[in-house]
Amino acid sequence: MRQLVKLQSHSWRQSGSIMLWRYVENRRNFPGWNFTANVEGCASLIALLDAFTKDDIPVSRTLTITAPTPAALANVNNRSAASVAPVKLRMSFSAVLSKWAFSESIDPAEFSIGAEWLPLFRQAIADIHAGKDDYSIGPSGSSMLWVWRQPAA
């Protein structure tokens, strides 16, 4: 008889605020996606990445995204460039070790990450919590992820 294994990622629950957006104007300044989260959101995302690592199989979770606040957009300082934000993000852990891919769609947005990128993404999330920002990770172009500190409320 086959034994069912309880996946760590299936018991994960999101907490906190996670903001994700991309610009539809003036994209040459910040191509790809922009990301920030509050303290609880950072801890929640780190817990999800740790669960992906423990599960060690392709799995996905859907996250609720908070629209970027005017303060978050001002932090980036991309002038008055229009932006779009998804309501949901489907984050997938890929069997392809080097996978890093964001969809162009926002309904929902989709992000697939392989094991090689997990430590860098985890560090980027920790950097937000530590107030380090204004850099990108991931391949250049539309799959870049810009990391921004959470603006004061």
Please report whether residue 10 resides in a domain: no
**Residue 26 pLDDT > 80:** no
Q: Which range among 14-18, 41-45, 62-66, 101-105 shows the weakest confidence by mean pLDDT? A: 101-105
Structural domain boundaries, residue 92: 15-147
Find the CATH number of the domain harbouring 103: 3.30.1360
Give the confidence band of 25 by pLDDT, cuts at 50, 70, 90. confident
* Residue 7 CA to its chain's centroid (Å): 21
In the structure encoding, which two tokens stand for residue 109, read together? 């947005």
Give the confidence band of 75 by pLDDT, cuts at 50, 70, 90. confident
Please report whether residue 6 resides in a domain: no
Please report whether residue 24 resides in a domain: yes
Strand order in 33-37's β-sheet? 83-84, 18-23, 33-37, 145-147, 135-137
Peptide bond into 119 cis (omega under 30): no
Please report whether residue 8 resides in a domain: no
**Residue 49 pLDDT > 60:** yes
Number of domains observed in the structure of the chain:
1
Give the confidence band of 39 by pLDDT, cuts at 50, 70, 90. very high
Please report whether residue 109 resides in a domain: yes
For residues 74-80, give the mean pLDDT.
82
Q: Higher model confidence: residue 85 or residue 80?
A: 85
**Residue 79 pLDDT > 70:** yes
Please report whether residue 1 resides in a domain: no
Please report whether residue 3 resides in a domain: no
CB atoms closer than 10 angstroms to residue 91: 21
